[in-house]
Amino acid sequence: MAAEETEAEKLEMRAMEAENLEMKAMEAENLEMRAMEAENLEMRAMEAENLEMRAMEAENMEMKAMEAENLEMRAMEAENLEMKTIEPENLEMRAMEDENLEMKAMEAENMEMKAMEAENLEMKAMEAENIEMKAMEAENLEMRAIEAENLEMKTIEPENLEMRAMEADNLEMKTMELEYLEMKTMEPENLKMKTMEPETMEMIPVQALSKLICPEEEDDFDSGQSNFPFTVGAMGPGNIGPPQEEELRIIPQTSDENSKEIWNPQEVPEGAEHDDMWDIRELPEYEIVFQQQVGTEDIYLGLTRKDPSTACCNELVVKIQLPNTNPSEIEIDIQEMVLDLRTPNKFIKSSARHWGSSKIRYSVILQ
C-alpha cells in the first residue's frame, strides 16, 4: 500500500510539473506575442516618421512649385513686355498664322470627311458581307430543305416500290383482260369476213352470232342491245367491257311530318334565303379579293408550303363601288355568312361560305 501511495504521489508530482511546463510555455508564447506587438509598434512608428518625411518633402515640392510659378509669371510678364514692343510686326505674323490655322482647320475637316467616307465604305462592306452571309444561310436552308425532301423521298421509296409493284400487277391483269376482250371482239370480225364470201355463207345477223358465241347471256344482250351497234364495223373502244346500265336516280320521299311543305329544303339553292326580290334598289359593282401574307421564307425558301390557292389565303377584301354616296347614308352589317350593305340607291346582300372561317380577316373598301 505504501508503494502504491508513493507512486501516486510521484504521478501527481509529474502532473504538477507538466502543468508548470504548460504554464511556462503559455508565458513564453505571451512574451513572443508581446515582442511581435512591440515590433509592430516600432514598424508603425517608422511608418509615421516616413509619413512625416513625405509630408516635409511635399511641402518642399509645393514651395518649389510656387517658386516655379513665380518664375513663369515673371517670364510671362517679360514676354508681354517684348510683345508690346513688337506688336506692330507681330500683327501681320498673327494674321498669317490665323490664315494657316484656318487652312489647317479646313484640311482637318476634309480629313474628317474622308474618314467618314471610309467608315461608310466599311459599313457598306460589312452590309455586303452580311447580305452574303444571309444568302449563304438561305442557300444552306435550301440545301437542308432539299436534303429533308430527299430523306422523305428515301423513306417513302420502299412504300412507293411496293405500290409500284402492286400497280405493275394490276397493269398486267388489265392487259390480260384487254387481250381477252380483243380476242372476243376479233371473233365477230372474223365471222363477218366469212359472211362476206357469197359462195360459202349467207348474211348472218349479229344477234344470231351473239347467241352462237354466248347463249347464256341472251337476257343481258336483250336488255343492253340498245347500247350496242348492230354492225361490227361500228364498234369502238367504248364498247369494250360489259354493257353499261343506266343509273336510276332515286327521288327522296317526303315524310308525313313535312308533307304540308311546298318546297323541299334540298330543292332550295344555297343563299336563296338572303335574296330580297321585292327590293328594287340597284345592285352596286363589287369585287371579292383573296389575299395572303407571305415572306421570304414563303417566296424564296418555301418552308411553309404556301401556294397561290384560296386555301392558303388569310385575308378577304370586298371592294364595293359607291359613287356619289355620303358615308353617313351607308348602313353595313357583316354577319357570319352574310354581308349586308344598304344605301338610299344601292342594295347588296351577299352570302359566302368563306365568311365563317376563323382564319380569315375581313376588310371592306368603299370606293
Complete domains list, the chain, with CATH: 281-296+309-366 (2.60.40)
pLDDT at 197 over 80: no
Which residue do the cell numbers 508503494 mark?
3
Determine the Cα–Cα distance for residues 276 and 296; give it in Å rounded to an integer: 46
User: Rounded distance, CA 136 to CA 140, Å?
Assistant: 6
Which contacts (CB < 8 Å, 24+ apart) does range 139-143 have? Answer: 141/301, 141/303, 142/301
> What is 290-335 written as a DSSP string?
EE----HIIIII--S---SSGGG--EEEEEE--TT--GGG-EEEE-
Q: 187 pLDDT exceeds 80?
A: no
Q: Which residue has the higher pLDDT, 228 or 8?
A: 8
Residue corresponding to grid cell 418552308: 303
Whole-angstrom distance, CA of residue 243 vs CA of residue 214? 14
pLDDT digits (tens, 9 = 90+) for 127-180: 888 888 888 888 888 888 888 777 777 766 666 677 777 877 888 888 887 788
Backbone angles phi, psi at 106, to 5 degrees: -60, -45
The DSSP bridge partners found for residue 350 are: 339
Q: 359472211: which residue's cell?
A: 195
pTM of the model: 0.28
Q: Which residues pair with 347 in a beta bridge?
A: 342
Name the DSSP class of 346: B
- Give start and end residues of each alpha helix (H) in the chain: 2-195, 206-213, 218-223, 296
Q: Cα 337 to the chain's mean position, in Å?
A: 31
Task: Dump pLDDT digits (tens) for 312-344.
Answer: 888 888 889 888 888 899 998 888 778 888 999
pLDDT at 87: 74
pLDDT > 70 fraction of the chain, expressed in percent and rounded: 69
pLDDT value for 76: 92
pLDDT digits (tens, 9 = 90+) for 10-37: 888 999 999 999 999 999 999 999 999 9
From 189, 186, 184, 245, select the one nearest 220 (Cα to Cα): 245
Task: Determine the Cα–Cα distance for residues 114 and 106; give it in Å rounded to an integer.
Answer: 12
